[in-house]
Amino acid sequence: MDSSTPLIYIVEPYGGSIRRHNAALPHIYWDDAAVTRGDGVFETLLIRDGHPANLQRHLDRFQSSARLMELPEPNVADWIDATRQAVEEWSQRTDADAKCVWTYTRGRESTGHPSAWLTITPLGETVLKQRKKGVKVMTSPRGFTIDTSLPGVEEATEGGTPEPAPWLTVGAKTLNYAANMAALRYACSQGLDDVIYVDPATGRVLEGATSTVIVARPGRKLRTPTPGGDILPGTTQAALFEYAEEQGWRCKEKDMTVESLLDAESVWLVSSVRVAVRVTELDGRVLPAPANEDEVRELINAALGAE
């Protein structure tokens, strides 16, 4: 078998059976809500040194996403088991970083049963290149805004309320990523790599199309836009802040503007698989490498390996 062939494990939502699936064969039906409506949730995890990085935070967000989408509670033990089996098999092929995606959908309209599976694939060339060379980024409005004063939004984004505003999916990592992918294609068409969304009404920096924004400031300080509401709480950012605090950095969630990105020591996009890519250009302005570039990168890598 080609070492880049994806591994697929089906996770039966009822009964807990986990079975390996032949990647050359289809496994989704035409009437699955993932296909017809983009209706489901997912998590993307980094597989490093034979382990899923940051596993507990991914499990927590997965459960909270499912709750917000009113999907049946995923069986955490099955997901851990399936991930362990898949990672063990993958690790026999290679010890290079890999990407694991958990997908959990509302399932087939004809049966009403959710569908669930995970995949492991190698990292793409683009990810590896961006980790090394950084990314050129444009800022842009997201194209829609979420009124965070609507009833239930604040509680919903923390995943804890029994009665979140039922029509909202903020705070859930849903399969609905077509607009984010379109934004990335647009950035590419302009010779750029990524987009940072900015709220046009307030000038508040939100997040990358698939990442969390982190700013390093002089004096070993890290800042990130306050997660929640229209900013997906990132597992990488959470791991980074916990670990960096232990290492003597001062970390704060704080609203910020594009100007504060431009005068930062360094700006980073962090997410599970890319881990940390430095923003080397923002809206055409070059952001020079700081003296502590390697230190920050190692801090983020260590944060993911720390668990």
3-state secondary structure of 171: coil
User: 């035409």: which residue's tokens?
Assistant: 30
Phi, psi of 31 (to 5 degrees): -105, 20
Question: Which of 130, 157, 235, 266: binder of ligand PLP (CB under 6 A)?
Answer: 235
Applying CB under 6 A, which part among 28-36, 117-125, 163-171, 234-242 lies near ligand PLP?
Answer: 234-242
Of the candidates 188, 154, 187, 192, the one whose C-alpha atom is nearest the C-alpha of residue 170 is 154
Cβ-proximal residues to 248 (8 Å cutoff; 6+ apart), any chain: 220
Strands 205-208 vs 115-122: parallel, antiparallel or unpaired: unpaired
Closest CB to ligand PLP among residues 271, 280: 271
Rounded-to-integer distance, Cα 235 and Cα 246, Å: 17
Q: Applying CB under 6 A, does 103 fall inside the site for ligand PLP?
A: no
Find all residues with CB under 8 Å of 172, minimum gap 6, and list them: 41, 64, 65, 68, 69
Rounded to the nearest whole angstrom, what is the least distance from the CB of residue 235 to ligand PLP in the complex?
A: 3
| 157 belongs to the binding site for ligand PLP (CB under 6 A) | no
211 is a site residue for ligand PLP (CB under 6 A) = yes
Task: Give the nearer residue to ligand PLP in terms of CB position, either 108 or 142.
Answer: 142
291 burial class (0-12, 13-18, 19+ CB within 10 angstroms)? Answer: exposed
# residues contacting ligand PLP (CB under 6 A): 12
The encoded tokens of residue 259 equal: 């100007």
Interaction between residue 65 and ligand PLP (CB under 6 A):
no
Residue 207 contacts ligand PLP per CB under 6 A: yes
Q: Does 272 bind ligand PLP (CB under 6 A)?
A: yes
Smallest gap from residue 101 Cβ to ligand PLP (A): 10
Q: Does 232 bind ligand PLP (CB under 6 A)?
A: yes
State the minimum distance, in angstroms, from the CB of residue 47 to ligand PLP: 13
Binding site for ligand PLP (CB under 6 A): 44, 207, 210-212, 232, 234-236, 270-272
